[in-house]
Structure 1
Amino acid sequence: MGNGEVEKAKMRARPIVKLGIFLISHSSFVSVICLIAAIVALLLLPVLAKNTYISENALMPGSANSMLSTQDVSEANRLVKDLTHLYLRSPIESQQIIGQYMSGLDAEVTYQKFYPQLNRFHPLHFFTNSDLGISSSNMNCSSLGINTVGIIRAPRGDGKEAIVLVTPYNPEKNGLGEALSLGIAYSVFSLLSRVTWLAKDIVWLVADSRYGEHSAVDAWLREYHDPVFHRNNLIDSETCNESNTTTELEQKLYVDKKFYSGFRRAGTMAAALVIKVAEDSNHFEDSLNIYAEASNGQMPNLDLINIVNYLAVHKQGLRIQVKKIWSLLGFRWLNTLGVIFESVGQIARSINPQWKFGIPASEYVEGTATLASSLYYQALGVPTGPHGAFRDYQIDAITLEISPKVSLSKMTMRNDFILRGGRLLEGVVQSINNLLEKFHQSFFLYLLTSPSKFVSVGVYMIPFVLLITPLPLVAASLHIDASKSTTPQTTEVDVSRKSWKWLNSARKVFVIHLWGVVVALLPYFLCRLPNSTPTANFTLWGLLSAFSLIILYLILGSPVFEASASQPEKREWASLKSVTTTAAFIGLSLMSVINFATAEIGALFIIPICLMVQPLKLDAQARSLITLLRATCNLVLGLIAFPPVAYVLLKVVFDDVDGFNVGEYWNWVESLWAWNSATYLYVGIVHLPCWALCIHILFHPC
């Protein structure tokens, strides 16, 4: 067998190589197909959503009858009365009353003192959980926050596991909603102090929300998991020598020997439930809002939501609600699309009844609005409630906000409301108590389309894969085309210079990404300017970013980065685009590991311009309808991909706002870094540099 036949046999044995060569050679056509398929797959996600189900059989929600009695409700109502009648009194008195009620149930009662932390931007806080701390000059007794904690030890437990109930409470407001949430938690806490089947310790945290609900819960969790010894004692001795706050709170409990000094702990937290009652009433029916999104797209185990959904709907008759983008409900094109999918589903079922495709148009519109909300809030990386503090410690937690149908000023309505809310909470605690281990059976990566439907990671990753697939194909195609441009008379020196030309493009991309890092670090200095407004900070940030980019552009255009001092080569932009698309592919792939929702939304904005960008000069020279249309699309896509413009578009679509102030963008960015959102890193280090490189290619002087 000759050498030629051997080579042919090798090629026949590697069909994957042939497929790769075919896709690269037809990268433009493949890109169009993949983008269209990705958009269609995104629009099909509400149709492909599955019904939720209880994965862990040991949970058994609703298997036991409720033991919560009217006596427990009466005691809880008495607590609500005592708290609401303390208007204009000292906040310490309300916390003292809560501690007395806890101690009356033979619970271990402690008070945790904490100081609110300032949300200041610091680059290293994206990678560490170090305590920010507050200098002693900023500490005073008036800024002291006090969490009230009650612990019930399980009669059938070994102290290694616990369930946490959280009720945010602002003692300075004494609102009826917060008092009712305390009443619901107290009714269940009272019941659990008497039952004999409890296998996990119960911790009731009354979080002092004067400085924010999340801040109070986070302070308690930090002390629970990462105690800092002697620091609080030092603070108290230096700043609060003359304060009798602790004495006022603990005096009666010390006498009864029911107060425990120091910080008390239970076992490993199996789950946490945050209970809130909305101040405004829903005039249609009692409803329950579930908030599940935590920092950087983290979600609790789906079984925890399934338990609440099942018990609330089938046992207590509550209407479950999750966040949705209300503005999408009015889009006619979305309703038309739902009608089309519904018709296709009917045709499919007429052909084969087992083909369960298609949902009603109204359900599709609501599912899309809920899916968009779930994707948006996961991408933001900002917790939607105080439960987010638990997810930072890998503890499954959700926030339950109950909205009453009518005003609860009447005693009969209030008793019924506390009874239903307490029985719901009791059922959830019973199910979690049945588990011998943490939640692990169900999904952790999912998007909700309704309280009872979800899209798993195996489904919603398909649009993202289709979006990023063309990037390496286009990069390889451009690199091959640049390599083929070598003429037969090319010498070895010219080939070497062409190799360095590709390296120069990679160097440009690297330097521009370093510029993105500089832009991301500028707010660290700008936020320290005295008496600065958000608008002024945003303007100064933009000017400094543009000035530094111009300097880099002049440096990159110097002979240091060029193969020769002559005019730029005609195909230099192709090499730069090849490296840019590769960088975008790597950045989006890495971001999908950190926060998939951010990568999904970011891909929708940056990938079209990365694939279509071409120098305007070439399109202008061609002077054809197609090239002019492509140039127009590039300009529009370049404008849309600019981060402030993309923010405005998302704000208009998702938040339904009419006006916009440039200071709002600074406030949004400030909220991202305050919550250590990975979206901030993506915008500064991945999205902005790729956009700048695309604009550079668009105006390339080829």
Structure 2
Amino acid sequence: MRALVTSSGQRHYLLQQVLDRPGFWSLICYLGAIYYASFILDYRNAEHTRISEHALMPGLVVERFDKDGAVVEYLQGLREQKDHKRSYICQVMKQNGMSCHTQRWWSALKVTNISGTNIYAVLRAPRAVGVEAIVFAVDLHQREAAAMVMAYAAFARQQIYWARDLFFVFVDGGAPGIDAWLSEYHLVRHSALRADRLPEMGGVIIGGVAVKSHTGNSLPHLKLEVNHLNGQLPNLDLLNSMVRIAGSGKFAISPVIYDAPHQEQDGKDSHMLVPLRAMYTQAFIAVVGLHSVMGKYGVQAITVAVPPLNLFPLRKSTRLLEAIARALNNVLERFHQSYFLYILTSPDNFASIAYFMPIIGGLLLPLAIFAYRDWTNLYELVFPRSLLVMHAVGLLSWWLCSTYFSYYTNNPRADVMYMGISTVIPWGLLLPSPVTEIRSLRFFLLLECCLATASVSLVNFSLAVCFALVAVPLMIKCTMDNDSKSRALVRTALVLACHPAGILAVFLSYGRPILGFRKTPVASQDFLISALLRLIKEHLVKNVLHVL
């Protein structure tokens, strides 16, 4: 604390100026953080991407895939054998000299009842002993992508340069399906899924690629999906390699991330759409694709969505997959040399953690300023009882989400709805705080909010920023002393209106269209019900397996 006072024991002049006008300096910090974010997240001011692991050599190999007819044949076979596609895929893989196996999996939770049967084929490396592997995952029900992976597997079987085993996984059931396969591959007991043991496994998975075909009727582009679970991101070298491969002269196809073009289109500059979508998806979207679950097991993976057949030749699409596989085969060791914490501002530019972390510091500094001011004005520090009540309610909510809804509930949908209603109740008001605890309560709330948000930013920066943008002004304004009863009632009503469920409902209805995810907002007559139902579907039911 000596740094905050002078040699005479008086408070430092600059610090005293801040404490005399905390609102003014807090506003400067808050607006300064927003301006800095708009500057640093502009791709014109961001760093240019680069390959740190030079052994990848993306785009330097000569792709030789020439089995266009095999892709068409397998695609036709999948259409004809739609009721027996698993046996058809295994038959094709075995005919091409690879072993093929099936794996049943099912959910162990009461909150959801899903199951499926995965298929995977193994191509053993002729130049190694199987200590490392590469995984290619594709949704079993995406015929075009599955046919392309089958044809490439048949082609790869004839090559002799493989230094790693290749696993071709045809996933049934989306992200839970690949989660079940990976848990058995790594011999990890999954708390939410049960699955058959894998009869054949390999070594450490050096990297993974999830393949799918996207729909579109515009110019062909390569769609890259990067986000892993809970805001994690793959190593930047993996993304850079795919961007380099796609943009090279042999393919000349524009890579697109977060489904957002960063160039000007139709006279409208949308370059900020990429970082905004990056932060939104990192904060609120738990599962983006099959690759998202791979990050849970330490596998660096990305989903590659190739253009449809009517926009891009089959040979080029499969050669694109071949180029990615060759780059992963070239890498000398596990990805570690490039960034894991970054925000993409365009396919070729990014902001590293050293540049974007000051944003959260500027947003949280007002909380620290007001907390320190309250500390200097306290006559006695009293631990408020209502703070214990609020933490107990939070702990109970966590237990209900993680345990009760998973194993003990008999009517999960009704219980989730009851819990949503219970979160609207201001439990802290049920235990009135004495006047002597009010100032201490404010100090603890501001300090805890500041420290907790800063801690979250180390794990999920975007989630912390989205929370701080809303919570910081509300926490400061709604906890100020107010002698007017009418103003206090208005302030209480404002706090209830700014409940997280209400804010998220408004965002889902009017914020997502701004980001381009949905063109029109929800109709006014069913705004709240539709938004809350979408909230439950997208963020509670759909992603419960992966959160657990």
TM-score, reference length from structure 1: 0.67
1:23-51 CA-to-partner distances (Å, cap 9, x unmatched) read 44543332111111011122223323222
| Aligned position for 2:359 | 463
C-alpha separation between the residues in 1 aligned to 2:195 and 2:136? 29
SS at match of 2:111: coil
| Aligned position for 1:420 | 316
Query: How far 1:399 moved relative to its partner?
Result: 1.0
| Aligned position for 2:149 | 185
| Aligned position for 1:160 | 131
| Aligned position for 1:453 | 349
8 Å CA contact 2:176–2:545 kept in 1: the answer is: no
In the alignment, is residue 222 of structure 1 matched against residue 183 of structure 2?
yes
SS at match of 2:313: helix
Matches within 5 A, 1:216-615: 216-226=177-187, 263-278=199-214, 280=215, 282-314=216-248, 315-323=250-258, 365-404=269-308, 406=310, 417-483=313-379, 499=380, 502-505=381-384, 507-522=385-400, 538=417, 540-541=418-419, 543-545=421-423, 549=426, 553-557=429-433, 562=434, 568=435, 573-614=438-479
- Residues 146 and 522 of structure 1: is their aligned pair in 2 closer, same or farther, counting only changes over 3 Å? closer
Return the letter of the residue paired with 2:138.
T
Over alpha carbons, which structure has the higher Rg?
1
- Alignment equivalent of 1:641, drawn from 487, 492, 498: 498
- Residues 262 and 519 of structure 1: is their aligned pair in 2 closer, same or farther, counting only changes over 3 Å? closer
C-alpha separation between the residues in 2 aligned to 1:297 and 1:144? 26
- Residues 677 and 646 of structure 1: is their aligned pair in 2 closer, same or farther, counting only changes over 3 Å? farther
- Residues 60 and 116 of structure 1: is their aligned pair in 2 closer, same or farther, counting only changes over 3 Å? same
SS at match of 1:618: coil
1:121-148 CA-to-partner distances (Å, cap 9, x unmatched) read 9xxxxxxxxxxxxxxxx9xxxx863322
| Aligned position for 1:198 | 162
Query: How far 1:61 moved relative to its partner?
Result: 1.0
C-alpha separation between the residues in 1 aligned to 2:202 and 2:8? 62
8 Å CA contact 2:342–2:352 kept in 1: the answer is: yes
C-alpha separation between the residues in 2 aligned to 1:23 and 1:521? 42
8 Å CA contact 1:608–1:637 kept in 2: the answer is: no
Query: How far 1:591 moved relative to its partner?
Result: 1.5
- Residues 363 and 18 of structure 1: is their aligned pair in 2 closer, same or farther, counting only changes over 3 Å? farther
C-alpha separation between the residues in 2 aligned to 1:556 and 1:618? 17
- Residues 198 and 324 of structure 1: is their aligned pair in 2 closer, same or farther, counting only changes over 3 Å? closer
8 Å CA contact 2:176–2:546 kept in 1: the answer is: no
Query: How far 1:227 moved relative to its partner?
Result: 5.9
C-alpha separation between the residues in 1 aligned to 2:331 and 2:29? 44
C-alpha separation between the residues in 2 aligned to 1:273 and 1:57? 20
C-alpha separation between the residues in 2 aligned to 1:468 and 1:672? 32
Return the letter of the residue paired with 2:356.
Y
C-alpha separation between the residues in 1 aligned to 2:293 and 2:326? 23
8 Å CA contact 2:184–2:195 kept in 1: the answer is: no
C-alpha separation between the residues in 1 aligned to 2:291 and 2:546? 16
Query: How far 1:262 moved relative to its partner?
Result: 5.8
- Residues 179 and 588 of structure 1: is their aligned pair in 2 closer, same or farther, counting only changes over 3 Å? same
SS at match of 2:135: strand
| Aligned position for 1:81 | 76
Return the letter of the residue paired with 2:218.
F
Query: How far 1:674 moved relative to its partner?
Result: 0.5
Return the letter of the residue paired with 1:214.
A
- Residues 78 and 471 of structure 1: is their aligned pair in 2 closer, same or farther, counting only changes over 3 Å? same
8 Å CA contact 2:106–2:195 kept in 1: the answer is: no
Sequence identity, in percent?
22
C-alpha separation between the residues in 1 aligned to 2:540 and 2:281? 16
- Residues 365 and 555 of structure 1: is their aligned pair in 2 closer, same or farther, counting only changes over 3 Å? same
- Residues 381 and 55 of structure 1: is their aligned pair in 2 closer, same or farther, counting only changes over 3 Å? same
In the alignment, is residue 110 of structure 1 matched against residue 45 of structure 2?
no
Query: How far 1:403 moved relative to its partner?
Result: 2.6
TM-score, reference length from structure 2: 0.85
C-alpha separation between the residues in 1 aligned to 2:346 and 2:96? 39
- Alignment equivalent of 1:53, drawn from 50, 54, 59: 50
Return the letter of the residue paired with 1:158.
V
C-alpha separation between the residues in 2 aligned to 1:235 and 1:586? 40
Query: How far 1:228 moved relative to its partner?
Result: 6.7
C-alpha separation between the residues in 2 aligned to 1:21 and 1:363? 50
C-alpha separation between the residues in 2 aligned to 1:227 and 1:613? 46
More helix by share: 1
Query: How far 1:643 moved relative to its partner?
Result: 0.8
- Residues 667 and 113 of structure 1: is their aligned pair in 2 closer, same or farther, counting only changes over 3 Å? closer
C-alpha separation between the residues in 2 aligned to 1:316 and 1:458? 34
C-alpha separation between the residues in 1 aligned to 2:207 and 2:342? 19
| Aligned position for 1:413 | none
Query: How far 1:420 moved relative to its partner?
Result: 0.9
- Residues 222 and 64 of structure 1: is their aligned pair in 2 closer, same or farther, counting only changes over 3 Å? same
SS at match of 2:271: helix
C-alpha separation between the residues in 2 aligned to 1:458 and 1:162? 33
8 Å CA contact 1:324–1:371 kept in 2: the answer is: no
Return the letter of the residue paired with 1:113.
R
SS at match of 1:663: helix
C-alpha separation between the residues in 1 aligned to 2:56 and 2:309? 30
Return the letter of the residue paired with 2:156.
L
- Residues 369 and 437 of structure 1: is their aligned pair in 2 closer, same or farther, counting only changes over 3 Å? same
8 Å CA contact 1:592–1:598 kept in 2: the answer is: yes
- Residues 118 and 324 of structure 1: is their aligned pair in 2 closer, same or farther, counting only changes over 3 Å? same
SS at match of 1:217: helix
Q: Which runs of 5+ in 1 are unaligned?
A: 1-6, 122-137, 171-177, 237-260, 330-358, 408-415, 484-498, 563-567, 622-627, 679-702
- Alignment equivalent of 2:536, drawn from 666, 675, 696: 666
Query: How far 1:673 moved relative to its partner?
Result: 6.3
Return the letter of the residue paired with 1:372.
L
Query: How far 1:288 moved relative to its partner?
Result: 1.7
8 Å CA contact 2:103–2:195 kept in 1: the answer is: no
| Aligned position for 1:653 | 511
Query: How far 1:469 moved relative to its partner?
Result: 1.6
1:343-365 CA-to-partner distances (Å, cap 9, x unmatched) read xxxxxxxxxxxxxxxx9899994
Q: Which runs of 5+ in 2 are unaligned?
A: none
